[in-house]
Amino acid sequence: MSTISRDEVAHLAGLARLAVSEDELDTFAGQLDVILDSVARVGEVAADEIPPTSHAVPVTNVFRTDEVRDGLSRGEALAGAPATEENRFRVPRILNEEA
């Protein structure tokens, strides 16, 4: 028997602003039951002496150190631009204001 009623599924769907058909209410109720049963089983297995973890394996920082290096010159940066004007990127006007 389902521990989540069709009315509860309909209420949750309404909160999530999801359009759910009558057939889907039964389907989703069954699926939500399976999910809740799985979560309950995990809770039964977890032991007090086992600390909670966020990852199954140890995670280390993979960032490289910051190193200062030369960037592109203005000419190199503008070389790939589709349009330039006065040594700057030319882009379409998006506001109706005068510059």
Domains recognised in the chain with CATH numbers: 6-45 (1.10.20.60)
| pTM, entire model | 0.45
- For residue range 9-60, list pLDDT tens digits in order: 999 999 999 999 999 999 999 999 999 898 888 878 767 777 777 888 888 8
Return d(Cα 24, Cα 14) in angstroms, integer. 13
